[in-house]
Amino acid sequence: MKFGEQLRSSIIREYQWHYIDYAGLKKELKAASGPYTVSQEDGNNAAGPSSAVSEGNRPKSRRRQWTEDDEQRFIERLYGELDKVYTKTKVKQSEIQRLIAINEQEVRKVVDQVNQRGLDEPGPSEESFVLLEENLSDIIADVHDLAKFVQLNYTGFYKILKKHDKMTQWHLRPSFDSALKKKPFYNEDFDAEVVKLSKLYDLVRTKGNPVQGDSAAGGAQGSFVRQTTKYWVHPDNVTEVKLIILKHLPVLVFNASKEFEPQDSAITSIYYDNPDKFDLYEGRLKKTEGAEATRLRWYGGMQQDQIFVERKTHREDWTGEQSVKARFSMKEKNVNAYMRGDLLPEAIFEKARKEGKKPAKIIDEQEALAREVQYSVLKKGYKPVCRSFYNRTAFQLPADARVRISLDTELTMVREDNSDGVRRSGDNWRRMDIGIDWPFSQLPPGDVVRFPYAVLEVKLQTQHGQEAPEWVRQLISSHLVEAVPKFSKFIHGTATLFPHKIKLLPYWMPQMDVDIRKEPTHDFGIRRLLHSPNSGTTSDDDDEDDYDSDVDQADAQATRAGPRNGSGPSTGAQGLVPGDVEGQMVEVSAPNEDYPIYDSDDEFDEEDAFEEARRVGGWPYYSALAKHYSRKMGSGMLEVLTTITPRPRATTVPRSRRTQMFFGDQDVQTKKFKSPKGKKIYVPVRVEPKVYFAGERTFLGWLEFSIYIGTIAVTLLNFGTKPTKLSFAVAGVFTLVAILSLCYSVAIYLYRSKGIRERRVIKYYDRVGPSLLCTTLFLGVALNFVFEGRDRQIW
């Protein structure tokens, strides 16, 4: 669906008079008042001015020229629309902040009645908490609607600017960017609102008794299954996802007494690798046993003095060991000396041993880790190659790690190496020309990659036999997220920043140019109606743990107010949940209609092109008309031929419960992708020892059948007193078949064994071989029966 239709179908009653007049601006673009100019045959504008032609002699393939008066009229109306949207956004955000402040006072008042009442004094009624929860739900819906309003209008402005520059050849976008910086309605993020609403909703949900405890605790259960899955979230859906989660889990705050600051949610990591071989990259991509990743991480701005040195080690499940992420902290001023080998690990922990604040066993383990990391860096030539930056919003009950969710927005990867002769970090362990000033516009395009989506990480941990909470299952199977298992910021950043050195690409790279927004699959999302929040347990595990729950992280973030919401050009909510009627004025699409999702920036607007050709007339119009009908006729014929052509039909296999939980019931979209020349797409292949044993058992099975065929050949050759020429020829054929099957089985075994060792995605099944072998065996037994019967003169 085109953006104009999407805009019309997403009108919210409160904002209906404040949206960008997209249709009116499109009419302005078609209302050129200049003299007629010769157009190209495709209906586009002719470049540069041309002489006017009299009305009577004007050819049909003409159009009016865009004049300076037209430009001034369009600019005046465009800036008027910008002022209208900006004013409404500021007024509504001020109203939301005022409502939050009022409800905060009401919540504090009711909670004080709970905590300060005497033994014989009655507490607040149940209706008081129900009313407060309804009010907070309405505020959450207001934030959702405002975010959607901002996102649609921001997209609308740049859609119309693109049409303007394309149709008029007057480039308006640079000057409009300057005007937009003065009235940045799109930059109104909702970080502070989310944090405050999370605190208030948690107080109301728990009736004034929120869960207390260490935010880093909760992971010491003895028998649990832990599962981590990563998802991509489109910027249109980021705010809605956050608002859904905060109704069930509070925002994880390490220092509730400190006011929220933008830098509190910033997390930056410097990844090390060999810039010539990229050993760590390849190991983490292939998930080989013992594959490591080494990084230096800090929380907040560049002034942070505490740096964490981390090492992640992958362990295969069949080993019985868990993947490990170990780390220790050190002062920023000591990092360079440590990485060069001038500062020994003993000196780093000398002060900690004297103070005795940590157990000696922990200090010994961290010192051993520091020694191993330093040895690997010096011996294998690891250098800083890639930086990842993002703002994290974390959701978790304190002292309860059953459900832990983090959402990373504004994810950006930056080059840190000096391998191409450009001094970025120099002799320092990190480059100093950037900090947390996203989107790092001062960097050259080749040094930075801005990831287009937010990354949602869901960690579930339950006792055996339990399932994840219902709301979690609904969230991860909804249209708001796209499952991308094993996604890694390090792998993606390295693969995109070093295209000339990396030959093996991760499996999700073909998905980067596919729109991940989907049609809603079930009634799930933000609404104004009151819903009791579900609470429960969770389930399962993954080794790509990027959620920092160590005690050291709590120390590092002791000055943090809490994670920050994603802010950016398109923060907002996508789509409208059926049933969300109050305050809405939406045309809900019928089940058979196309999903109302507006087209991409690289769109070809067929409707506009056809109307333009109709207005121009002449050959462009007839050409566009012929193309339109020929395209429809061709697609119809192709559909008929596809239907009537006999071919093998695929058998529908029902989805497992696990697949439905993570991917929902929507249709799976398949797309063929050819990797760039000289590169390969690596698809994760799970390899366990039993896979090798299965290959050996298959080989032995082939040997067994080959021996059967050889036995039949010997029997045919030697049965009876006077073997005939026919029996001798048949015996010779079966002998040859037996020898060929033996050679074939050895070749297949070697081929599969090599594929398993190299974790290649090959066909580990054989459609033809077993069938031929069984057919040959059947014929052999049948012929033996026939010859024996004839020898005994039965027939």
Instruction: Name the residues annotated as catalytic.
Output: 489
DSSP 649: P
Residue type, 267: I
Residue type, 123: G
Alpha helices in 533-656 (DSSP H): 551-556, 606-616, 618-644
* Interaxial angle between packed helices 126-168 and 22-30, expressed in degrees from 0 to 180 and rounded to the nearest 10: 10
Determine how β-strand 324-331 pairs with β-strand 225-233. Answer: unpaired
DSSP character string of 333-397: GGHHHHHHTSS-HHHHSHHHHHHT-S-HHHHHHHHHHHHHHHHHHHHHT-EEEEEEEEEEEEEEE
Q: Are 675 and 505 in contact (CB under 8 A)?
A: yes
Distance (Å, rounded) from C-alpha 580 to C-alpha 25? 30
* Interaxial angle between packed helices 173-182 and 68-116, expressed in degrees from 0 to 180 and rounded to the nearest 10: 30
**Which residue, 433, 324, 422, is CA-closest to 369?**
324
Distance (Å, rounded) from C-alpha 704 to C-alpha 715? 17
Rg value, the chain, Cα = 33
Structure tokens at 534: 């579900």
Q: Are 218 and 403 in contact (CB under 8 A)?
A: no
Bridge partners for 91 per DSSP: none
Phi, psi torsion values for 292, nearest 5 degrees: -120, 160
Q: Are 285 and 682 in contact (CB under 8 A)?
A: yes
Q: How far is CA 178 from CA 31, 157, 173, 213, 614, in A?
A: 26, 13, 9, 48, 36
Distance (Å, rounded) from C-alpha 48 to C-alpha 70? 16
DSSP character string of 629-644: HHHHHHHHHHHHHHHH
Structure tokens at 46: 């002719």
Structure tokens at 133: 């929860």
Distance (Å, rounded) from C-alpha 52 to C-alpha 58? 9
Q: Is the link from the previous residue into 439 a cis peptide, with omega within 30 of 0?
A: yes
Distance (Å, rounded) from C-alpha 422 to C-alpha 412? 20
Alpha helices in 719-768 (DSSP H): 725-757
Q: Are 595 and 516 in contact (CB under 8 A)?
A: no
**Vertex 157: Cα angle to 151 and 163 (nearest 5):** 135
Distance (Å, rounded) from C-alpha 648 to C-alpha 653? 15
Please list, in sequence order, all residues whose beta carbon lies within 8 angstroms of the beta carbon of residue 90, skipping any fewer than 6 positions away: 185, 188
Structure tokens at 729: 């020829």
Residue type, 744: Y
**Which residue, 304, 313, 309, is CA-closest to 339?**
309
Distance (Å, rounded) from C-alpha 163 to C-alpha 612? 12
Structure tokens at 269: 């990591």
Q: Are 267 and 299 in contact (CB under 8 A)?
A: yes
